Structure 1
């Protein structure tokens, strides 16, 4: 399009889905390029020695139209005398690669503003290693689509669609920041959609038999640990060594049983459970709080404690040192990383298969729904930001669907 490039024009120009240019009507060769992101840049287009060339003067947030026009006039005057303004330009800056952008620009920001920063940075660096040395501006949808197909169709270790979607989401979030910060004019992966997955897949929860087996295994573990401790103390007593603490005076051998009881009766994520401090627990009010800083949604929520959870926490509080900050601390009071080893041994002892620690959260939600609790209440207890996440449990309460289709039945008259 044509028009005089001035402040009035800048005020009315709106970005289109595709880039477009405005040719100045007063100064031939002077123009303005408008990107879909809204970024606008002044430029000079000229022909010298039979070759048409373009040189960018700068963005509209760096120069006023009048300043850009003066710069264009100066450049065009030199061109008429046979001088190429490109010869006087500063050396081209070092190309910013995806890897340099992630390390120098994105990592400091995401580490400050996102809880899952470490996980997502590792995800990007591991799964997009082949793209890290490529210029950021050369990243495109075709490259990522080929990457996706290679991951999904790997001959020996094909990735799950959900895993690939998480990897892709991490990269797209980083690239969104590159666009926001002006390093890219538009998002090259905007049209790359996540792979379709069955978000309402099978929800794993404990059967009544498995629940009995789990607690039987916990009881057996406690009895074994107590017997081992008694035997060890007998050996120490005979030899005059100081005895270890008597386990008969406390409810639990260690954190495993109360942590499991709390998880099954509150639906806490493992990260929320292991970050829980005693200041978050209000035993008289029979309630605990998950602070926003520890919640996946970033929002604080409050969860009532039923009698099982309350009893376990009271017993655990009684045997825990007053100096403990965390409810379930690790060595030297530090946060436990995970409980994979003890959990795996317990499941093996109970004969339970394909049941992750996180599945206790599904078990909590499933039992609530099967008991007739409405989905919105379940959503609030789980801390889901959107009801869509909670709908995966809807099939466990089919009564409302059965009642709906029953309305079609006509009673013979």
Structure 2
């Protein structure tokens, strides 16, 4: 066993070799008590060494490099804060070691992690209950990799490879949290390869646009009809458009401010003339804070699948999803000369390479690009009528 003191960086910790005997310990010079232990097989784990209720305790934080140095430091600070207030994180972790059922673990995962950190936590709740409810009474140590692989293959065959991959990610995340919270077992989903997913590039083609607009005009559900049109004209994500609020719309500047998008940042969306016309009409008749009012618990429109199916059937269009309306706007922006940065800005995309450039863009070139794209789409309708 050897011990080392150094300033933790990713590069330095990656160089740490497997322990020759037992475990080697590396102590962070920046965050007191933060330690990385390295086993003979090369497994690297962050711990916090701290006295709790008068006795020295070793609190497991997570595995490196899945947990970054900065994440480990932040978690160590958080744990120290809990200890300072009289809490004992080890008691909670020992409860995990006492062999929870998968159902109990998922409840913990949902309340302590998913609902706190994920905007899409409802999908975790829905999909786990749909596919894994038969596991709820089983001890978490009873699962092995072969069983998870078989389930992944079965879901892939019956429900599609994308569905199977998302479920595998959820299972892996749930067991990772159990380990982070003190369970000493191995994650049975680690090492299982996901199915290759084909990148989807579907959008409304020029010959489909006239049929789509005609079917949309004939849709009896006015709220759903306007929702689909606004989705197409703004390219916004479905969840953001469903939850669109009047207070976020500025009719003077023709903009819509989304306070928090999927990437965790705010976004300002240009509203072309066609969108302003729709929204103005809805505003005059609305008494709700939501643009697309609904009768559900959220107060706004839920996923309008039935209306979408009616529109596609009448238009004779196949294999088109609501999300493809977002891709349609981007495609027609590209067709009318917009570059990738402008399209990314208008759709709220985020990447390390383009973030700096996005920050320097104002809304004017985005506005021009969206206007050109929407005019081009409606131009196909006019061309069809002339023919």
The Cα shift of 1:120 comes to: 0.9
- 2:290 maps to what in 1? 326
Cα 1:109/1:22, change in 2 over 3 Å:
closer
- 2:249 maps to what in 1? 281
Q: Contact 1:265–1:364 (CA<8 Å) still a contact in 2?
A: yes
Q: Contact 2:258–2:267 (CA<8 Å) still a contact in 1?
A: yes
Q: Partners in 1 of 2:333 and 2:20 — Cα distance?
A: 53
Cα 1:305/1:288, change in 2 over 3 Å:
same
Q: Contact 2:235–2:330 (CA<8 Å) still a contact in 1?
A: yes
The Cα shift of 1:277 comes to: 0.2
The Cα shift of 1:388 comes to: 10
- 1:52 maps to what in 2? none
Q: Contact 2:203–2:327 (CA<8 Å) still a contact in 1?
A: yes
Q: Partners in 1 of 2:170 and 2:209 — Cα distance?
A: 37
The Cα shift of 1:17 comes to: 6.2
**Which residues in structure 2 correspond to 1:366-405 (within 5 Å)?**
366-386=331-351
Cα 1:11/1:181, change in 2 over 3 Å:
farther
- 1:115 maps to what in 2? 119
**Which residues in structure 2 correspond to 1:8-407 (within 5 Å)?**
9=3, 21=22, 36-39=44-47, 59-61=57-59, 94-129=98-133, 131-153=135-157, 158-184=158-184, 187-199=187-199, 201=200, 203-221=201-219, 254-292=222-260, 295-321=261-287, 324-331=288-295, 334-386=299-351
Q: Contact 1:123–1:167 (CA<8 Å) still a contact in 2?
A: yes
The Cα shift of 1:105 comes to: 4.6
Structure 1, residues 168-189: CA drift from partner, whole Å, max 9, x if none? 1112222222232232466553
Number of matched pairs: 293
- 1:229 maps to what in 2? none
Q: TM-score, normalised by structure 2?
A: 0.64
| SS of residue in 2 equivalent to 1:128 | helix
Q: Partners in 2 of 1:220 and 1:107 — Cα distance?
A: 44
Q: Partners in 1 of 2:4 and 2:258 — Cα distance?
A: 48
Q: Partners in 2 of 1:191 and 1:173 — Cα distance?
A: 13
| SS of residue in 2 equivalent to 1:37 | strand
Cα 1:350/1:377, change in 2 over 3 Å:
same
Q: Contact 2:248–2:258 (CA<8 Å) still a contact in 1?
A: yes
| SS of residue in 2 equivalent to 1:302 | strand
Question: What residue ranges of structure 2 are gaps of 5+ in the alignment?
Answer: 25-36, 50-54, 61-93, 355-387
Structure 1, residues 171-224: CA drift from partner, whole Å, max 9, x if none? 22222222322324665533233222222x4x2222233211222233345xxx
| SS of residue in 1 equivalent to 2:252 | coil
Q: TM-score, normalised by structure 1?
A: 0.61
The Cα shift of 1:118 comes to: 2.1
